[in-house]
Structure 1
Amino acid sequence: MTQIYRETRVRMADGVLLYTVAALPRATGSFPIVFIRSPYDPPEITPELILADARPLLDQGYAVVRQHCRGSGRSKGVFIPYVSERQDGLETLQWIRRQDFYQGEIYPVGGSYLAAVHLLYLDARPEDVKGAILEMHDSDYYRIFYRNGFFRISLFGWFTYMYQLRSKLRKDFVVPDSYRILPLCDYSLAVFNERVPSFDDLLRHPQPEDPFWQADGICTNLAGAVRDATIPILLTTSFYDIFADGILDLWTRISSGNRGNCAMLVTPYDHTNQHHEGSPLKFKRGELADVCPNYVANWLNHIRCGEPLEFIQKGKIAYYVLFRNEWRFAEYLTEGPYRLTLYLNDRELAEKAGATSEITYTYNPYAPAGFRGGICNDFDGMQVQDPPNSRYDIISFVSSPLSGPLLVRGKMNAELHVRSDCTDTCFYIRVSIVKNEVAYALRDDITSLSQQIDEYRPGDEAVLCFSCTPIAFELHPGDRIRIDVSSSCFPVFSIHTNNKGPQNEQKTARIAHNTLICGKSRLILYHD
């Protein structure tokens, strides 16, 4: 097959040259253009490989413009995540408009960071951008890096990895123990031997109400991209995607006038959106390739010429119900209408509250607890869990076998009645489904006393509320629910030092003796 491409370096306004390949379906003519920008292509990639990747869209009559982000691949300049993508994207759009193959229609497409590069300029509403496919990336800059004031170390690890690729210091920066440094805000100085503002600024602003997260620039550009859009957008995520919480929330923020033109797909897998060898379970017809293998071309063709959608429903979320093994469609992924309340009694979950009792454990920030799988707060998603009470600082509660079946959907909430001998400390929950004595992680959440209580006095009883990322799964007869309570989940989340004050600035840590009050604490599931 004849391969037609144009290889060039597009000059930005500041003189930096960005490597760009335009793959064309024919030697002459003008075409609708799929626009892709990536920081991941290696310098040795060839136009032929780019063409091979673009072939399905070329066969549909689209031109594909693929560009290496500033400071990556064959592009010049310095790669600083998120910082230059808006201006580089807008200037490349201007370059596209000057090409003889430009037909007047541009369709940004990409997943993960390849979606972020488009989210950063879409609030400008370019008139020739007629639709988009944005997969697996949040539009809330705070939520990308934090959950309830705790730094999501996996994303910081990605920052570190990208920095390492450009560094002249050839050492392995991506070591989990590196994130135990105190204070954490000195991470870049300790590990890179220099200050890196793009890292340091994030660490110094752990609270969402901080003006840092509302400042004009990256934060407002991301926030307005989909919320204020007037074009049809296809969003995708997975229940175990690191951005699942943000993307599910993003759907609710699309304007009512445009949501009917958009659609969303939610698979049962992780950030890859498909089953892979690291996944403990393969769900029947759970991949997009199983139900709509040509969803990219199908969505674009539907926008352009009204091609019928093969699986996607406009104005709806298509989500996969785990363990029921079926897809469902709904305007929103809301909580089921009925509540199942399970009380954390003495080492068991039960529908009736037991006698009030207490379990006290030691939380040592210098030896934090860890769990298998990051669920939707790290990249390794669902994993089989260790046995209950696997450490002295992990307290497990398991229900009796359920009669089922029960379809649980939406958020799972928890209320923990706790006390501590410190002025501030952390509490973490992890909810799993137990099938045939094997526990599979479902959801987790983390918070601290200071996050919910202004002035905590050591020894006082406090009530902490947890709200997990929405999910849909079915409990079968004989299944059990398990909840683990701890005070850390490292290296998914940053470590709480048990000191009061900004955690990333703490230079020391102390041991806490934390208490969980049984018979009062409870887990709430919502079901059909």
Structure 2
Amino acid sequence: MTSDPDYDVVVRHDATVETRDGTELATDIYRPAEPESGEPIAEPKPALLVRTPYDKRERERVERQGNWYAERGYVVAIQDVRGRFASEGEFYLLKNEAEDGADTVEWLAERPYCDGRVGTMGTSYMAWVQNALATRDPAPLSAMFVNQGAANAWTATLRHHGAFELRWLTWALTIGGGFAKRALDDPDVQRRLAATDTRDVLASEPVVRGQSPLRWIPNYESYVFDYMTTPGSDDFWTDPSINFEAHYDESADVPTVYAGSWYDSYAKATCDNFTALADRKESDHFLLMGAWTHGGQSTWTKPYAGETAFGAAMTRDYLETKLRFFDHYLKGRETWDEPRVQYFRMGTGDGTSTTAGRLRHGGEWATGTDWPLPDTEFVSYYAHGDGRLAPERPAETDSATTYEFDPRDPVPTIGGNCSSYYTFEPRPESIEELPVADRPTKSLTGRGGYDQRTRPETFGAEPPYGPLEERNDVVVFRTPPLTDPVEVAGPIRVRIYASTDAPDTDFTAKLVDEYPSSADFPSGFALNLTDSICRARYRGYRREPDFVEPGEIYAFELELYPTANVFEPGHRIRLDVSSSNYPRYDVNHNTGDELYGGREYHRATNTVYHEADHPTHVELPIQPS
């Protein structure tokens, strides 16, 4: 039985944690208190640490992290990370989190009200900092619940084969920069940021150092451009606060849950961490993957993602799940008997429309002993010249499809593994009346499963609106309608054989579950499952840029985010190939210039090959029927 809410709570605000370099981090401490007297209990308790850039005093964080767990017998420490809100120092996204976090764990364990055991928890940035501090292996660290965190910022999350995820720019322009100390303290900076429409910034890309709205908060502009432009070979990308993969061997060996979801921006990293560490470490490790979008408690209780409904069976209580885990590993209670791997298998719905207009894609929870699942058969589905996608390798000796990629007209992003692609919502109040930190935000891309067709609200789309597959720069390969269900669960890999007339370009791939037409969806429904991108100069997982020779054929390897889905009879498995997905990823100008170095554009002629010697294909993790 889990811990009951037996206690009152007493809070000490802004306790000071001094890091190894002398920076003071403001930390609120929530302690269990006697219900009658309101005095802190005398018995030391395990501690739970949350480190956040989003204000430790935010109401929901106070209630759902501080008070909720303290009432159930935990000491809870919620800390503003370096340079944010009440903590000293200058904020530089992700830097210093390994050392600052480890120092905080050590400090917390030494408090007389802590029994020496410290667990960590949190989502997104608050998950990232957990893996960072684990690379320093602080002795008191005893358990981690990492919900939607990173693994290697170069291979996925910040950059993908060199391409940049623009959510880090939009985050800096909105909920990041909006809470920057300079923005909060200087009314003039407040006004300038509040007047910024992220859509305008993206529409006039590329953003240029010293000319972007971030120039008013220089430390934010500095880190954004560092992440945008630093070559992969730089030691910058092996920092323990940025790349945990490089430090797996020395990372802490403690019970850990890696929780995530198929439509989260950290889906690949979540699975990568579990796969690498579950067998490398002796402690119990768990993988829990839903089909939610990015977020914690409020997201876990939603039975849908974007325009796609999965049913109430997918919902879970995030707070209770963490409590059961920590009660078991920090208090020794018999509250956690979860399988090593559990994941939500999407699909098997009837394909009708909910009252909210969402597709009933359905699904159910499944379990396994490892990831990828032990009985997985990796099967290649090959592109063919007639547009087919089939397990048979093409026999043609000369077969290719050519398209024009205009970087001034990129393929719009419609849902997917997106988070933080924000702009401030227009409001009737004047800018002076509403501080930037209080302005509501709106997603530019949507999150989750969407029918892959543009509509008036699609960023970057112009009429006539319609399916992305009708664009001249999207090459589509699809299976015939399936006669039997095909279940996939695991990593998705694509190899595109292609050439270009440019010194540099991009190639993108997207896996789609294509529904047939129905009464509720007369045009069918092209459900995006996962995607990725490869920048030509960084093809083949290279870290040093190497420009391509125009006209020469290269293999471009793409690791799409993992997924789990049942393609039902009558559906088609579809692979979309193109050269852009904006604003999920930045746009390659095809010039070969330095990234963000100029405003020249080159219209590239790109060719995808589907022939015997150059068989473009997707490798699917097929599960036994």
Deviation per CA, 1:82-122, whole angstroms, max 9, x where unpaired? 23434443444454345442222221111111122333322
Question: For residues 498 and 407 of structure 1, what CA distance do their matches in structure 2 show?
Answer: 37
Question: SS of the counterpart of 1:294?
Answer: helix
Aligned residues: 520
**Corresponding residue of 1:458:** 550
**Corresponding residue of 1:503:** 595
Q: Does 1:372 find its partner at 2:464?
A: no
Question: For residues 319 and 20 of structure 1, what CA distance do their matches in structure 2 show?
Answer: 35
Deviation at residue 145 of structure 1 after TM alignment = 0.7
**Corresponding residue of 1:148:** 161
Checking the alignment, whether the CA contact within 8 Å between 1:423 and 1:498 is kept in structure 2 is yes
- Per the normalisation by structure 2, the TM-score is 0.75
Structure 1 residues 448 and 227: CA distance shift in structure 2, 3 A: same
**Corresponding residue of 1:6:** 11
Q: Does 1:264 find its partner at 2:287?
A: yes
Q: After the TM superposition, which of the residue ranges 296-305 and 346-355 deviates more from structure 2?
A: 346-355
Question: For residues 420 and 475 of structure 2, what CA distance do their matches in structure 1 show?
Answer: 22
| Match among 275, 283, 302 for residue 328 of structure 2 | 302
| Match among 346, 350, 353 for residue 322 of structure 1 | 346
**Corresponding residue of 2:215:** 193
**Corresponding residue of 2:527:** 440
Q: After the TM superposition, which of the residue ranges 27-36 and 69-78 deviates more from structure 2?
A: 69-78
Deviation at residue 357 of structure 1 after TM alignment = 4.2
Structure 1 residues 56 and 394: CA distance shift in structure 2, 3 A: same
Give the percent of matched residue pairs that are identical in Structure 1 and Structure 2.
Answer: 20
**Corresponding residue of 2:138:** 126
Question: SS of the counterpart of 1:235?
Answer: strand
Deviation at residue 434 of structure 1 after TM alignment = 1.2
Question: SS of the counterpart of 2:478?
Answer: strand
Deviation at residue 49 of structure 1 after TM alignment = 7.3
Q: How does 1:65-464 map to 2 (within 5 A)?
A: 65-75=77-87, 77-97=89-109, 99-142=111-154, 143-161=156-174, 162-166=176-180, 167=183, 168=186, 169=189, 170=191, 171-172=193-194, 173=196, 175-179=198-202, 184=207, 186-187=208-209, 189-193=211-215, 195=218, 196-207=221-232, 209-215=233-239, 218-219=241-242, 223-224=246-247, 228-254=251-277, 256=279, 258-272=281-295, 274=300, 275=302, 279-284=306-311, 287=314, 289=316, 294-310=320-336, 312-313=338-339, 316-323=340-347, 324-334=363-373, 336-337=376-377, 339-352=379-392, 353=394, 356-375=398-417, 380-386=447-453, 387=467, 389-436=469-516, 437-452=524-539, 454=546, 456-464=548-556
| AA partner of residue 140 (structure 1) | N
5+ residue gaps, structure 1, are none
Deviation at residue 388 of structure 1 after TM alignment = 5.0
Deviation at residue 131 of structure 1 after TM alignment = 1.3
Deviation at residue 154 of structure 1 after TM alignment = 1.3
| AA partner of residue 318 (structure 1) | Q
* RMSD over aligned Cα atoms: 3.2
Q: After the TM superposition, which of the residue ranges 49-58 and 227-236 deviates more from structure 2?
A: 49-58
| Match among 35, 46, 64 for residue 49 of structure 2 | 35
Deviation per CA, 1:437-468, whole angstroms, max 9, x where unpaired? 21110121211333338563323343333332
Deviation per CA, 1:200-248, whole angstroms, max 9, x where unpaired? 22222142x3332125x53467853786222111111111111111121
Question: For residues 500 and 64 of structure 2, what CA distance do their matches in structure 1 show?
Answer: 59
Deviation at residue 23 of structure 1 after TM alignment = 3.4
| AA partner of residue 440 (structure 1) | L
Deviation at residue 416 of structure 1 after TM alignment = 2.8
**Corresponding residue of 2:543:** none
5+ residue gaps, structure 2, are 1-5, 35-39, 348-362, 422-446, 454-466, 517-523, 541-545
Deviation at residue 351 of structure 1 after TM alignment = 4.6
Q: Does 1:23 find its partner at 2:26?
A: no
Structure 1 residues 278 and 220: CA distance shift in structure 2, 3 A: closer
Q: After the TM superposition, which of the residue ranges 148-157 and 120-129 deviates more from structure 2?
A: 120-129
Question: For residues 68 and 471 of structure 2, what CA distance do their matches in structure 1 show?
Answer: 50
Question: For residues 222 and 160 of structure 1, what CA distance do their matches in structure 2 show?
Answer: 29
Checking the alignment, whether the CA contact within 8 Å between 2:292 and 2:305 is kept in structure 1 is no
Structure 1 residues 4 and 521: CA distance shift in structure 2, 3 A: closer
Question: For residues 333 and 231 of structure 1, what CA distance do their matches in structure 2 show?
Answer: 22
Deviation per CA, 1:317-376, whole angstroms, max 9, x where unpaired? 212211152312221225822525242333343455476544332211122111311336
- Per the normalisation by structure 1, the TM-score is 0.87
Structure 1 residues 448 and 383: CA distance shift in structure 2, 3 A: same
Structure 1 residues 491 and 206: CA distance shift in structure 2, 3 A: farther
Question: For residues 49 and 419 of structure 1, what CA distance do their matches in structure 2 show?
Answer: 50
Deviation at residue 266 of structure 1 after TM alignment = 0.8
Checking the alignment, whether the CA contact within 8 Å between 1:97 and 1:104 is kept in structure 2 is yes
**Corresponding residue of 1:475:** 567
Question: For residues 251 and 146 of structure 2, what CA distance do their matches in structure 1 show?
Answer: 15
| AA partner of residue 326 (structure 1) | W
Question: For residues 222 and 467 of structure 1, what CA distance do their matches in structure 2 show?
Answer: 16
Checking the alignment, whether the CA contact within 8 Å between 1:179 and 1:494 is kept in structure 2 is no
Structure 1 residues 225 and 294: CA distance shift in structure 2, 3 A: farther
Question: SS of the counterpart of 1:57?
Answer: helix
Structure 1 residues 502 and 336: CA distance shift in structure 2, 3 A: farther
